[in-house]
Structure 1
């Protein structure tokens, strides 16, 4: 029997984030937004039975690591226990591969698809997995770029501007959105 997911909202140097967790690990994360209410609402959409809770122990330490990340210090989240039970086996493989991208490293949808031997539609599949990533930052989808090193999409608050800022925070060179991405707002 699974327990009710818990979540909390907290402030970082870049805005308010939310994190959800349960008995099997971290199950959700919302990137910074201007108000605390935005990530709180987003978390409850993803975890409608979630209960706001005081972060204790390991989750408190994860929150401190997130705060450290958003001031620009090198942080590695690859050791954290994640609950990806709601994901397909394929998406879990994609997220595992994405977690191997360390601070300041990036790849493309196509390269990641090639590494995982996903075939002709692989880059599209990677893009879909990144768009549906339930634990952004900790599963660093911001480090996965479109062909030619373009930004690609980003579904977090602030869109591609947030993705660009996170990459810059990690010391990656400036990446520009393609004209199509700019005109469609992704």
Structure 2
């Protein structure tokens, strides 16, 4: 992983991190509570990689994510990703998720149907749960059946997903439960 670098950046939802290589963005880390916890999570996921000032293309990605999380409808589709080592099925899921505009949503079933059949819905959910580049690959815009929030594996869980969707102005069918 020595050809990877990372940077921490502030957003409206907290300190995020971005990991990149010469091939593109390899990872985005949603906030972990504070900058140090976010940094620790990067080391846990990637090992000892260098923290570095972002080159222009990475700064462009950071600026786009910051804008999106401020409520500006930046779809981030021009950001190059380095998904080397990511299974082909997952890449297909991520490609479809990247077509969902800010403020809009799809369901796991919608994506599964595009990939071959509704029976792939669980696989779609698992792929999104392993999404290395949240925000850029907007897994938060993918909902369960009935436009319910479904799961979200990032720190803060469904509350983080709902916060991101609210910033974008998306409508979600959500009745808070004891587990939110």
Q: Is contact 1:151–1:177 with CA below 8 Å preserved after alignment?
A: no
Where has structure 1 moved over 3 Å in runs of 4 or more?
none
Which residue of 170, 173, 176 corresponds with 2:168?
170
Give the aligned partner of residue 145 of structure 1: 143
Alignment-derived partner of residue 155 in structure 1: 153
After superposition, residues 28-43 of structure 1 pair within 5 angstroms as 28-43=27-42
**Maintained 8 Å contact 1:18/1:40:** yes
Point out where structure 1 has 5 or more consecutive residues left out of the alignment. Answer: none
Cα drift, residue 132 of structure 1: 0.5
Q: Is the 8 A contact 2:2 2:49 kept in 1?
A: no
Distance 1:110 1:42 in 2: 31
For 1:96, what is the secondary structure of its paired residue? helix
Cα displacement (A) at 1:174: 4.0
Q: Paired residues, what number?
A: 180
1:13-38: per-residue Cα shift (whole Å, max 9, x none)? 22100000001100000113431012
Equivalence for 1:72: 71
What is the Cα deviation at residue 76 of structure 1?
1.6
- The alpha-carbon deviation at position 118 of structure 1 amounts to 4.0
Matched with 1:124 is 122
Query: Partners of 1:175 and 1:49 in 2: how far apart?
Result: 41
Structure 1 residues 178, 113: closer, same or farther in 2, change over 3 A? farther
> Helix, strand or coil: the match of 1:20?
strand
Output the TM-score relative to the length of structure 1.
0.90
Task: Identify unmatched segments of 5+ residues in structure 2.
Answer: none
1:27 touches 1:84 (CA, 8 Å); kept in 2? yes
Q: TM-score, normalised by structure 2?
A: 0.93
**1:77-120 residue CA offsets vs partner (Å, 9 max, x unmatched):** 11111011121111111111111111111011111101111452
**Aligned mates of 1:95, 1:128 — CA distance in 2:** 12
Give the aligned partner of residue 45 of structure 2. Answer: 46
CA contact (8 A) 2:93 2:124 kept: yes
Provide the residue aligned with 1:102 in structure 2: 101
User: Contact 1:4 / 1:49 at 8 angstroms: preserved in 2?
Assistant: no
Residues 27-63 of structure 1: CA deviation (Å, up to 9, x unaligned) = 0001134310122111122211421111121111211
CA contact (8 A) 1:17 1:31 kept: yes
